[in-house]
Chains A and B, each alone.
Chain A
Amino acid sequence: MSTLKFLGKRLALSIFVLFGLSLLIFTIARVLPGDPVRMALGSRAPQWAVDNMREQMHLNDPLYAQYYYWLSGALHGDLGQSLFTRRAVSTDVKEFLPATLELAIFAGIIMAVFGVLLGAVSGRYSNTWIDNSVRIFSYIGIVTPSFVFAILFMLLFGYVLNVLPTVGRLSPWIHRPPVITGMVSLDALLSGNFAALGDAIRHMILPAVSLALGGMAQEARITRSTISDNLRKDYIASAKGFGVPERLVVLKYLLKPSLIPTVSIFGLDFASLLANAFLVELIFNWPGFSRYGINAMLNKDLNAVSAVVMILGVVFIVVNILVDLLVAWLDPRIRLGAERGK
């Protein structure tokens, strides 16, 4: 019950945040100096065509009316027409969003698994050479922009070693699995096409690792510091004293409570991961939502830019709610506090 109440409260707040975000984006989109329609149609288009389109897009109406049209359209799933691809933005979103979600989820899994693993190992063996090498790795991960990782990986694995594909989602000779979810690897798995599954994952490795390394380093650092703190706690010593096997102590009594700070920052790390996808998708020519977004931004495609930012806002809110639920599950203090109606 308390979880439901918590969820309800979070959802109410989220709706408010999304509303605020829509205002913010609308403000950004409409301070545009210059005429977006003229930019879309090109300087040679006749004036009547520009006027028609302005009228069609309600650009001649007062701002509050424009906002109303935009918001009510968006709520009905109509995000307007892309001035660049000349299609409905919602069609573009359906086409491009799954590719980015697929990449981001894959990268998020790499980030969480290896971040926790590295952090746990270096916390368990703190102040040894293992710990020091993980620390150096973390610093490199944190200070290197993901676009630099992307370029380096492309160079190293794509050209020098030539072991991994650097462009696109599937090799041209692979039979494309039918579109079910739009995520190629999942579709391949669902349709039992394992050749395509392997190929899709191979295509994801380089962009996903470039995206994951920064967050992985952060998670490793946080996990390391909580693990090495908790290792010195009395309850671990007493568990060991009772003769509980070391593996069990580490996995059950040490790791679970130590993961709380790591999970809490996962939301932030995932956010920067998706932000960096804007650059990494461009470099690897990944036909995803972020590449669509950055092209929209470079082409001043108003409707598409607004839709991209809005949809990412929704994605973050969902991720953060999931993170909060996970933290509440890991941390009985939060769960019990919630039950007391605090």
Chain B
Amino acid sequence: MIMVHNTLLKRRLESLKKNWYKFSKNPVSVLGLFFVLAVSFVAIFAPYISPYPMHAGRYVNFVEASETPSLKHLCGTDVFGRDILSRIFFGFRYSLMMGAVVLSLVVVPGVVLGLVAGYYRGTWIDTVIMRVTDVFLAVPPLILALAICSVLTPSVFHAMMAVSLMWWPWYTRLVYGLSSSLRNEFFVQAAEVTGASRSHILFREILPNCVSSIFTKMSLDMGWVILIGSSLSFVGLGAQPPTPDLGTMVADGAKYLPDQWWIAIFPALAIMITVLGFNLIGDGFRDLFALEDI
């Protein structure tokens, strides 16, 4: 028994190694990985590595207000005299948290619904699940998230909930397509014939064959969710000042364009680098697993 387990583990490790080799041969994917790791590192250790950690929150120093980028303040200071680089470092925390929380909330229900609907394709279960999904997909997620946020008191937490509520149907639709075609494969029919339980078929036979697609979509979605989160903050329906959220910082800085360009431009670049990192990784996965329709 242990022997079998060991060889299985060994084989998994080997395939992981092989995949990593293929992934790392593409310099663009590695660049994406570098961006994501760098952003995550900065976010986690923000209190220790940002030059002025106390500038992240409510802090005012009008003597140093609106300073151009210099060695003392690499990205300049905002109108309250807060160091923008420090605020960006803390801003990464909110962006990553937005992506991580939303995805961890939506992937499981979205995938399970998709699996079930696809497996029971053509029955009333399929109809109910997929028609509800259609309704949620009828309007872009940003608009419905805006509508939900507008009826709640704006906060980071509510923004996350609103986006999550709108995001699960994308996973349902993705997995539905995969699951409804996989159910006709021989290995699924073989499992049915040998009397495997429904949950075994769904989660042990069909699900493992969807994992690469789900994974790829997740890394691309990290970028999209961060974009949507920053859009919500930009209009004032997400994070509220003095929270150092990147979208909020761009919105605040936009008021002082064109003279004090650094207040808006650096946070905007920070959003772009984060989203770019996840996109490049997602593309790397897509090439690696030879997926086309994500």
Residues of chain A at the chain B interface (Cβ within 8 Å): 13, 16-18, 20-21, 23-25, 28-29, 31-33, 139-140, 142-145, 147-148, 151-152, 154-155, 159-160, 271-272, 274-276, 278-279, 282-283, 293-294, 296-298, 300, 302, 305, 309, 312-313, 316-317
Residue B1, interface by CB 8 Å: no
B140 close to A272 (CB less than 8 A): yes
A297 to B158, CA, bound (A): 15
Checking A20, A32, A140, A317 against B131 with a beta-carbon cut-off of 8 angstroms, the contacting residue is A20
Closest Cβ of chain A to B201, distance in Å, is 27
Among A142, A144, A148, chain B packs the most CB atoms within 10 A around the CB of A148
Residue B13, interface by CB 8 Å: no
Task: Select from chain A the residue with minimum beta-carbon distance to B140.
Answer: A275
Among B153, B227, B254, chain A packs the most CB atoms within 10 A around the CB of B227
A147 close to B135 (CB less than 8 A): no
- Tell me the residues in window 14-52 of chain B with beta carbons closer than 8 Å to chain A beta carbons: none
Checking B134, B144, B257, B261 against A17 with a beta-carbon cut-off of 8 angstroms, the contacting residue is B134
Closest Cβ of chain A to B270, distance in Å, is 11
With A16-B131, A154-B257 known to touch, is A297 a contact of B146 (CB < 8 Å)?
A: yes
Give chain B residues whose Cβ lies under 8 Å from the Cβ of A271: 139-140
Task: Select from chain A the residue with minimum beta-carbon distance to B234.
Answer: A147
Given contacts A142-B275, A143-B227, A293-B146, 9 further A-B contacts (CB under 8 A): A17-B138, A145-B231, A145-B271, A155-B257, A271-B140, A278-B235, A298-B150, A298-B237, A309-B143
Task: Select from chain A the residue with minimum beta-carbon distance to B271.
Answer: A145
A28 to B131, CA, bound (A): 19
Residue B152, interface by CB 8 Å: yes
A25 close to B147 (CB less than 8 A): yes
Checking A160, A296, A297 against B258 with a beta-carbon cut-off of 8 angstroms, the contacting residue is A160
Give chain A residues whose Cβ lies under 8 Å from the Cβ of B275: 142-143
A305 to B148, CA, bound (A): 10
B272 close to A24 (CB less than 8 A): no
Q: Is the interface of B mostly helix, strand, loop or mixed?
A: helix
Task: Select from chain B the residue with minimum beta-carbon distance to A294.
Answer: B235
Checking A31, A155, A282 against B235 with a beta-carbon cut-off of 8 angstroms, the contacting residue is A282
A21 close to B279 (CB less than 8 A): no
With A139-B279, A272-B142 known to touch, is A28 a contact of B147 (CB < 8 Å)?
A: yes
Checking A33, A160, A275 against B143 with a beta-carbon cut-off of 8 angstroms, the contacting residue is A275
Residue B276, interface by CB 8 Å: yes
Checking A20, A154, A278, A298 against B132 with a beta-carbon cut-off of 8 angstroms, the contacting residue is A20
Residue B236, interface by CB 8 Å: yes
A20 to B142, CA, bound (A): 18
With A271-B140, A297-B150, A309-B144 known to touch, is A155 a contact of B258 (CB < 8 Å)?
A: yes
A309 to B139, CA, bound (A): 7
Residue B284, interface by CB 8 Å: no
With A147-B234, A279-B234, A312-B139 known to touch, is A31 a contact of B151 (CB < 8 Å)?
A: yes
Give chain A residues whose Cβ lies under 8 Å from the Cβ of B150: 296-298, 300, 305
Checking A155, A274, A294, A300 against B140 with a beta-carbon cut-off of 8 angstroms, the contacting residue is A274
A159 close to B272 (CB less than 8 A): no
A17 to B133, CA, bound (A): 9
A313 to B276, CA, bound (A): 30
Give chain B residues whose Cβ lies under 8 Å from the Cβ of A152: 268
Residue B110, interface by CB 8 Å: no
B144 close to A151 (CB less than 8 A): no
Give chain B residues whose Cβ lies under 8 Å from the Cβ of A316: 138-140
A128 to B140, CA, bound (A): 36
Residue B80, interface by CB 8 Å: no
- Tell me the residues in window 206-261 of chain B with beta carbons closer than 8 Å to chain A beta carbons: 223, 227, 230-231, 234-237, 247, 250, 254, 257-258, 261
| Cross-chain pairs A/B with CB under 8 angstroms, 6 sampled | A20-B135, A21-B138, A24-B135, A24-B144, A275-B140, A294-B146
Residue B264, interface by CB 8 Å: yes
Give chain A residues whose Cβ lies under 8 Å from the Cβ of B146: 278, 293-294, 297
Checking B139, B140, B268, B280 against A151 with a beta-carbon cut-off of 8 angstroms, the contacting residue is B268
Give chain B residues whose Cβ lies under 8 Å from the Cβ of A276: 142, 231
Residue B120, interface by CB 8 Å: no
Task: Select from chain A the residue with minimum beta-carbon distance to B148.
Answer: A28
A325 to B63, CA, bound (A): 63
Give chain B residues whose Cβ lies under 8 Å from the Cβ of A142: 275, 279
A305 close to B235 (CB less than 8 A): no
B223 close to A143 (CB less than 8 A): yes
A33 to B148, CA, bound (A): 12
Closest Cβ of chain B to A149, distance in Å, is 10
Checking B135, B153, B227, B236 against A145 with a beta-carbon cut-off of 8 angstroms, the contacting residue is B227
B139 close to A313 (CB less than 8 A): yes
Give chain B residues whose Cβ lies under 8 Å from the Cβ of A159: 257-258
Among B138, B144, B151, chain A packs the most CB atoms within 10 A around the CB of B138
Closest Cβ of chain B to A314, distance in Å, is 9
Give chain B residues whose Cβ lies under 8 Å from the Cβ of A147: 231, 234, 250
Among A23, A29, A159, A297, chain B packs the most CB atoms within 10 A around the CB of A297
A301 to B148, CA, bound (A): 12
Give chain A residues whose Cβ lies under 8 Å from the Cβ of B153: 33
Among B141, B143, B148, B271, chain A packs the most CB atoms within 10 A around the CB of B143
A24 to B145, CA, bound (A): 12
Among A32, A275, A282, A313, chain B packs the most CB atoms within 10 A around the CB of A275
Give chain B residues whose Cβ lies under 8 Å from the Cβ of A160: 258
Closest Cβ of chain A to B34, distance in Å, is 15
Give chain B residues whose Cβ lies under 8 Å from the Cβ of A297: 146-147, 149-150, 235, 237
A283 close to B142 (CB less than 8 A): no
